[in-house]
Amino acid sequence: MQVALTLLYALAALLASAFAFIELRMLWRFLRNRAAIHATFEGAPQGQTARGDAAAPTVTIQIPLYNERTTAEQIIRAAAAQDYPRDRFDVQVLDDSTDETRHIVAEVVEEMQKTGVRIEHLHRDNRQGYKAGALAAGLEHTEAEFFAVFDADFVPEPSFLRRLLVEERAFDDPKVAFVQARWSFGGPVKNLFSSALALLIDRHFFVQKPTRAFVGDVTTFNGSAGIWRRKAVEEAGGWSADTLTEDLDLSYRCALRGWRGDYVHRVAVVNEIPGHMRAFKAQQHRWAKGNAQCFKSLTGRVMAAKGILHDRWEEAFLLAGYAIHPILLTNLLLWPWAVLYMDRTLFWILQMFMGVAILVAPLSFAITVVERDGRWSLASIGEIVAGICVGIGLMVNNSAGQVQGFLEAGGEFVRTPKSNRPPGAPAAKTAARAYASPLHWTFFAELAVIGYCLMTTAVLMSRGEGLWAVPLVFWAMCLGLVAQMQMSPKLA
């Protein structure tokens, strides 16, 4: 029993530290190349002139919708208002809705058509393939060379198409499969825990994504606010509903065929932060499940892609990204028994490795804050602490998603409810009632793990190991915070 415990705990600790070292390597690359990264992704394009309207390629804007009555009109009007040659772009509203969203869309589309916008309302009476199925169905109705994808809560500026396709000339390289723009929130997010969620996303777009693109690693599409080259999608096999992260899946299938993605940091698209912890958990559960599905289906091909991918081990760790949550949960469950029964010298050695995992998250968030805000403040410290607590508190939810992803392909694409609200503001009561997220079963699993932490804390204290019980109390607090936020009417 002691040998099995030692092996399991050592494996969990070493895997956690391996993920931490990969993150540290990325942060070191960012800091070492910071000036060059800024020049590449934030400065104006160098050495090229913008094309004229005559050279503007044809593009279709695709808007996949499912029961989005609070945001459908907003995104349709933003898409129709693009400052792009009218004869070179059109809009597809890919509507799988079963509520009044369908009628809202029909009215707005009819209004836009009268203004001369080429716009089509494509309604399906089923959700076959979910978002991936809707995008694939839309491609059958257009011959455009490129297509842009926007989820319902995104609001692109009128210059979006012009900047990426004409001014930035982002597709001049014929091997660029897609271009991803940065996600933003339209201004400072003042609510503490909403700002913590924003920090989790900003870390990806301000540090991780530009660094990976700069060093030549695979750039991935984030599901919205980007433009795809039709030829790349068709060569890679098209959209697939075999995973719940169809964007990650297609990004890697393109990369394995020699295509690459590009990231344009200076073009930002405003979108909405989930307005409730239940909605955020549903989104994270879907991403964790889809991530596991992509890891299962793609890792073998990635590791065999010598000469195609720049750093195959780096890509494998990215595909395994959400695995950090079941690793942390395993560490939590084994912690009290490792304290009591493992060889203390070996236990201390493993804690030295775990120390890297403990430090890397606050370091990564701190660098993100400086990059995004250009300064430090007391509020920044609060954001970082809240971001760490929320990240840890999601370990049960995301571990469940990972396990499900390894056991099954596809699955229901559970939408993230939108409310069309300013950043940090509470959702309107009518919207909250219309699209309230149910309490997920993982809420009760979180309560069970909290109880386990408290029970084993008492066990450690009774054995004179009270100091080693502190991590259990901290984990219980993080899980309790996430659990409490699921019972609140909105994010605290």
What DSSP assignment string belongs to 204-246? Answer: IIIIIHHHHHHHTPPP---SSSEEEEHHHHHHTT---SSSS-H
Tokens 């777009």 belong to residue: 205
Per-residue pLDDT band for 319 (boundaries 50, 70, 90) equals very high
Neighbours of 343 (CB within 10 A): 11
pLDDT > 50? residue 423:
no
Least confident of 92-96, 124-128, 183-187: 183-187
Output the furthest CA–CA distance in the chain (Å, rounded).
78
pLDDT at 44: 62
- For each of the domains in the chain, give its residue range(s) and CATH number, in order of start: 2-32+321-487 (no CATH), 52-275 (3.90.550.10)
Average pLDDT, stretch 476-491? 86
pLDDT > 60? residue 427:
no
Average pLDDT, stretch 475-483? 96
Give CA–CA dist 245/318, Å, rounded. Answer: 13
Question: Between the CA of residue 54 and those of 91, 142, 161, 311, 328, what are the distances in Å?
Answer: 20, 20, 14, 40, 55
Contacts of 220 (CB under 8 A, 6+ apart): 180, 247, 248, 251, 252, 261, 318
Token pair listed for 99: 């509520």
49-86 confidence digits (pLDDT tens): 555 666 799 999 999 999 999 999 999 999 999 999 99
pLDDT > 70? residue 421:
no
pLDDT at 417: 75
Find the length of the chain. Answer: 492
User: b/e string for 229-240 if b means 16 or more Cβ within 10 A?
Assistant: bbebbeebeebb
Across the chain, mean pLDDT equals: 91
Sequence-separated contacts (24+) of 214-217 with Cβ below 8 Å:
214/29, 214/33, 214/36, 214/37, 214/40, 214/41, 215/29, 215/33, 215/310, 215/311, 216/310, 216/311, 217/310, 217/311, 217/314, 217/315, 217/318
Total H helices, total E strands in the chain:
19, 7
Q: Which amino acid is at 120?
A: E
Average pLDDT, stretch 165-177? 94
Token pair listed for 390: 């929320």
pLDDT at 68: 93
Per-residue pLDDT band for 434 (boundaries 50, 70, 90) equals low
Residue 173 annotated to the active site:
no
pLDDT > 70? residue 45:
no
279-310 confidence digits (pLDDT tens): 999 999 999 999 999 999 999 999 999 989 98
Tokens 């299962």 belong to residue: 296
Percent residues over pLDDT 90 in the chain: 79
Give CA–CA dist 272/151, Å, rounded. Answer: 10
pLDDT at 356: 86
Question: Between the CA of residue 164 and those of 43, 92, 208, what are the distances in Å?
Answer: 14, 19, 21
Give CA–CA dist 257/235, Å, rounded. Answer: 8
Residue tagged active-site, from 95, 202, 217, 247: 247
Region of 225 on the Ramachandran plot (φ > 0 left; ψ -120 to 50 alpha; else beta):
left
Of 150 and 424, the structure prediction assigns the larger pLDDT to: 150
pTM given for the model? 0.92
Of 144 and 376, the structure prediction assigns the larger pLDDT to: 144
- Radius of gyration of the CA atoms of the chain, in A: 23
Residue tagged active-site, from 90, 95, 96, 262: 96
| Phi and psi, residue 89, nearest 5° | -140, 155
Of 463 and 424, the structure prediction assigns the larger pLDDT to: 463
Per-residue pLDDT band for 426 (boundaries 50, 70, 90) equals very low
How does DSSP assign 43-66, residue by residue? SPP-S--PPPGGGPPPEEEEEEES
Per-residue pLDDT band for 410 (boundaries 50, 70, 90) equals confident
454-465 confidence digits (pLDDT tens): 999 999 999 999
Token pair listed for 113: 């058509």
Contacts of 29 (CB under 8 A, 6+ apart): 211, 214, 215
pLDDT at 42: 75
Q: Which amino acid is at 386?
A: A
At residue 97, the 3 state secondary structure works out as: coil
**Do 415 and 279 meet the contact criterion of CB atoms below 8 Å apart?**
no
Region of 278 on the Ramachandran plot (φ > 0 left; ψ -120 to 50 alpha; else beta):
alpha
- The H-assigned helical ranges of 277-374 are 277-303, 312-319, 324-341, 344-373
Give CA–CA dist 311/108, Å, rounded. Answer: 47
Per-residue pLDDT band for 471 (boundaries 50, 70, 90) equals very high
Least confident of 112-116, 376-380, 398-402: 376-380
Nearest to 62 by CA among 264, 224, 286: 224
pLDDT > 60? residue 11:
yes
pLDDT > 60? residue 48:
no
Residue 400 DSSP one-character state: H
Least confident of 34-48, 54-68, 304-318: 34-48
Residue 247 annotated to the active site:
yes
Most confident of 162-171, 351-360, 424-433: 162-171
At residue 89, the 3 state secondary structure works out as: strand
